[in-house]
Homo-oligomer: A and B are copies of this chain.
Amino acid sequence: MSALSKDDFVARLRQEGEKRYHDHHPFHVRMHAGELSRTQIQAWVLNRYYYQTRIPIKDAIILSKSDDPAFRRSWMQRIVDHDGKAEGEGGLAQWQRLAAGVGLDVEEVKSLSRVLPGVRFACDAYVQLVRERPLVEAVASSLTEFFSPDIMTRRIAAWETHYPWVDGATLAYFRGRVTRARDDSRQAIDYVLAHATGREQQERCIEALITKCHILWALLDAVSKEFPA
């Protein structure tokens, strides 16, 4: 098999990712259509928080796989984005405010004690994928960020329309992700295009992105099974 051109490789990544992205999941479709109950919204926020806590961990693993200070300097920004520069800042703190905004007990959310087993397994599988695979495949798995700015924009509108009981100020995490995910996905795709040059490596990158889509999907499966309509 000969290597894909850069354009074809990007097109394949976008196509395979787009059709499996979790915005097509029935639970997610109902979320944006305003059909979820308060309990379901709360369950999603509480369980998705576990995913959020795994992000800086998987990004630190990605850092540890690089020999290049320039790459590390740039990728480190992702950890800063989630952890913040000080207590109360950053994506994790914003998600905790979102948890409060949907009426959850923040300390309980932070304790992770009510996270569903299936959600844990899926998120841990993401960390494990990043740990086990070569750097370029680990980076490729983050390319769901391609689709994330769009979903965030739609989510803010949907939540403001359909769930007026949620404190709108606590949607800051989603707002911040619109531009951040755009920057992040540009950095990740540049890296993948530069370093996955053979066809076999390109296919493994596509496969890593598909697995990442399955992980996000499995998270919603677990939540929707436990909290059906």
Contact = CB atoms under 8 A, between A and B. Distances in A.
A93 B72 CA distance: 14
A170 to B, nearest CB: 18
A63 interface: yes
Nearest to A92: B69
B83 A72 contact: yes
Contacts of A87: 70
A76 B73 contact: no
A56 interface: yes
A28 interface: no
Nearest to A69: B83
A45 B214 CA distance: 48
B69 A84 contact: yes
A158 interface: no
B79 A67 contact: no
A197 interface: no
Contacts of A80: 76
Tier of interface size on chain A: 20 to 34
Contacts of A90: 69
A61 interface: yes
A187 B115 CA distance: 32
A45 B163 CA distance: 62
A85 interface: yes
A82 interface: yes
A73 B60 contact: no
A72 B72 CA distance: 15
Interface in A50-79: 53, 56-58, 60-61, 63-64, 66-67, 69-70, 72-73, 76, 79
Nearest to A72: B83
A65 to B, nearest CB: 8
Contacts of A53: 67
Nearest to A71: B83
A220 to B, nearest CB: 24
A80 B86 CA distance: 16
5 contacts: A63-B79, A69-B84, A69-B90, A69-B92, A73-B84
